[in-house]
Structure 1
């Protein structure tokens, strides 16, 4: 699973990977060659060879060592470059997948947890790619090269070292499975810890003002304790199994090399230089084995991270896009139709039951009902955040499942009561950091919405800076920015989900003016509690427990004292009677 997972991210860097492989091969060849020079030097010296021969051998050894070091630097550079490129590509893919998740999945996972998976888990993968995979390849080639040289020098020593190497690799690989479950547990505890920290830091003001500090600190201590124990167990398991096994095997390897070398030397089959050569080659065998042992710790963490990344890449929670590549919605949307739509998160609970209605261009539909009646779910189905359990949703008579998702979202603007703003300027927030808009275009849109007076009060106009989540703006001003965003896009459908529930009186009139302009000649669906907003709609649907209990012309329902909607108005738009 490991290599099949990372190969696609290496294939796009074919050139660098090839150069890296050539660098690895060169490094292995020079590493295997150098002990031969040392053996020649020792044998020549013991036999009384000339100084010139010794100087030449020393020069070759020095030159080879320098080239080997330079080549190692190149290998590290290429390995890091390939690793970062592959990791960044994976991060992009994961972020795109998160953006396509259905709402149920998003609600089940904190933003801190998602950040941990995209950032920390992917960084573990970088370590795996840049410091493990290519080193394992280099070490395996070195192992094969050294064993081959053992056979060239003496078949008995070659056979003994081959058997020893196979047993050693098998034992080290077998020890990996013992540590994996501890590494996975460590990553899970890390996710909980960082998710908790991210959410509590964002909510620091509410926590402080509501006196929840003691609870947060107690929870922090518990999570930190769990993370410490999981990390300790993972470290101990790695040291006891992998590291402990390797130490024993290395000691055994030296004993075997020494014993066989003494036997062969006494039989006059090898020289003293060859004995030293065997020890150098044995050390070269232990070097890759030691590195593999050390890097197995990264492999455990990376394997756990890949397991979690694979879960994130599971398509089961993606918004359905089957047959979505057929239509691109080139023409304007002039009609939205729900036909007998059911929806449920699971088989036990129906959130929507038999929802049917139609709305044409230039009309506004109001959705009212108590909390949990299914109002927001209708809007989210229209945005393909969910897929209907039964029935169909049509735009211009075409089933929404047959429409390209991005083309659909380009036609729809969705505004909630909590507008997402980013740290930056007013310009950056209303254009989503798109630099193609000129100042004149933006100010014309602002004034066309009737909110020029508000814009004139901004201290630095479009360059006015705001903090994270709109710090420095009121809730109503945040909604104004959302309306400007919509007007820049010129969508065919405008969806407003209780947008007025947090509006302050100072900006309410500005919003009402902007809303009239925004909904002009468009399809509008509004979820609202305020009377003024409901009066702007052309038709009303009253929902209760996922079903339509009333549907009709807004004015007609208002004037009929027997209707549920009329009684809601009398009770302050809170709940149907």
Structure 2
């Protein structure tokens, strides 16, 4: 409890501080609402006593009109307060959602191997939504309700200190019970949020593979896997709800007993001639109104239970730090312009402590050279590309650019200087312009259109209904596999990197499209250092150097000409057997 509250205060300070004037205005509205709620029963008390003592009709009329005006004012203040609270909730939680998303984008790829996209969506959006109302209103609502209760006790104390004291002790007892019971549901709601995240992760993964599920008739099996997740989510939600209902039932019982106590005391004092009928009505009304702030506190405790579960999960996520540390960038900042040299020096790497993907790998790519990397599936080719782009760091050895360890370079600067094209091209639900420029608004339409023309996408562009403003879907339905690869090459062409890594960029295209891509590569690779990862021999025809991998180790390394002319080399054997697919 104390840990959560201390963290909550720090979050309030961070995310409410930019909107402190809105928060103060919301607090003012809450205080105004409190004053009006306390004042209106007093007016009714005066009205009842005036009627009982046969006061003039004009006085009764004025009292009634005052009651109506105050009641209308209370409704107006309530509407403004609700609007302001919702506005503040969205502003603050959107800031939090942005920070969580920014943090997630900085995490290592290993993290995303352990967490599904559906689970991450549930954390970034679902858990933050749980915090929205609670996050912006909890502090002010608690202050307002406490002040409201104190105001009621003060008014009743003035009328009769014995009743005021009794009511104050009763409210302290109820609050003590509710605060003690509040944390009971936190573990249950934490389990419920995790079960919901697991369910969303399963749905996202399976729905993204709908075509394969239908093709292989796996729907029945997936539904059988879905049922236990739904059942687990149901049971977790039910347990959390039952504990929360127990809190609500306990508070309702306490409110009923409190109202009965106030009515009993008021009736006795009225019969003894100590209190008037109007005062008895006032006591009854305040007894009913006491229930409202106490119920409000109970509701916030219910929100607190769910928000604590969501916040605990968010804290766990935010405490997860990337293992890739940003370098100073001071050495590579002064590196000479032009194509760089790349060196692997005794590099070994394994994924998440598993079997080695690369072992004791050493080679050099001179400035402006094209290195072709061959090997069967699983030999470590893609791992090599990811290490160059520093998506991972090797557990042993060093990768350097122009003699400087890439771990000393700033990640943003390093990746901006490297063009990385994979076999699987990511298309975003955005316009053609945004997909081609990767949301870089500094690239002009003139430069973009010139790149589309130079790289063989002009005919495709001319078929687009809205030109560069045509919306593409995340599934890339408007693009063939070859056009998607050409669009990926366009991204590289526009960013003008000095080092390019191509990971089997022509592996999934037909020969005609491969010809377009090869012509695009002729323009793209000129005067640049290139690491060309290939699955087919035809892809490495432009290579100056060849590296053949087998089970993460170097099998052959040398110039393409020397390996081709050496009858003992594995590369020459592949050429002699006309084995287009590499089976190292």
Structure 2 length normalisation: TM-score?
0.90
Paired with 2:78 and 2:264, the residues of 1 have a C-alpha distance of: 33
Contact between 1:475 and 1:502, CA under 8 Å: does it hold in 2?
Answer: yes
The answer to whether residue 245 in structure 2 is matched with residue 223 in structure 1 is no
**CA separation of 1:464 and 1:48: change in aligned 2, threshold 3 A:** closer
The equivalent residue for 1:53 is: 59
Spell out the pairing of 1:526-565 with structure 2 (5 A cutoff).
526-565=532-571
* Long gaps (5+) in structure 1: none
Name the residue aligned to 1:286: 291
Secondary structure at the counterpart of residue 362 of structure 2: strand
Aligned length: 574
CA-atom RMSD, angstroms? 2.7
Provide the residue aligned with 1:312 in structure 2: 317
Distance in 1, matches of 2:137 and 2:16, equals 14
Q: Aligned match of 2:423 in 411, 417, 427?
A: 417
**Correspondences of 1:458-477 after superposition (within 5 Å):** 462=468, 466-477=472-483
Aligned position for 2:281: 276
Range with bigger deviation, 226-235 or 266-275: 266-275
TM alignment of 1:26-425, pairs within 5 A: 26-129=32-135, 132-239=138-245, 241-265=246-270, 269-316=274-321, 318-324=322-328, 329=333, 332=337, 334-347=340-353, 349-425=355-431
Asked if the contact 2:538–2:580 (Cα under 8 Å) also holds between the matched residues in 1, the reply is: no
Unpaired stretches in structure 2, ≥5 consecutive residues: none
Q: Is the 8 A contact 1:179 1:237 kept in 2?
A: yes
Partners of 1:288 and 1:327 in 2: how far apart? 62
CA distance in 2, matches of 1:305, 1:417: 37
The one-character-per-residue Cα deviations of 1:501-526 (angstroms, maximum 9, x if unpaired) are 21222201011111122111112122
How far has the Cα of 1:164 moved from its partner? 1.8
1:249 Cα deviation after fit: 0.8
Partner Cα distance (2:444, 2:536) in 1: 36
Moved more, 318-327 or 497-506: 318-327
Aligned residue among 481, 485, 490 for 2:491: 485
Residues 501 and 529 in structure 1, CA contact (< 8 A), matched pair in contact too: yes
Give the match's secondary structure for 2:113. helix
User: 3-state SS of the aligned residue for 1:356?
Assistant: strand
Give secondary structure in 2 for the equivalent of 1:12: helix
Distance in 1 separating the partners of 2:67 and 2:458: 79
2:326·2:409 contact (CA, 8 Å) conserved in 1? no
Give 1:491 deviation, angstroms: 1.2
Distance 1:284 1:415 in 2: 66
Confirm or deny that 1:575 pairs with 2:580. no
More displaced, 405-414 or 443-452?
443-452
Q: Say if 2:389 and 2:415, in contact at 8 Å, map to a contact too.
A: yes
In the TM superposition, structure 1's runs of 4+ consecutive aligned residues that sit over 6 Å from their partners are 457-460
Query: Structure 1, residues 247-290: CA drift from partner, whole Å, max 9, x if none?
Result: 11111211222233345446655433322222222222110122
Question: How many angstroms apart in 1 are the aligned matches of 2:470 and 2:354?
Answer: 50
Structure 1: how far apart are the matches of 2:143 and 2:439? Answer: 43
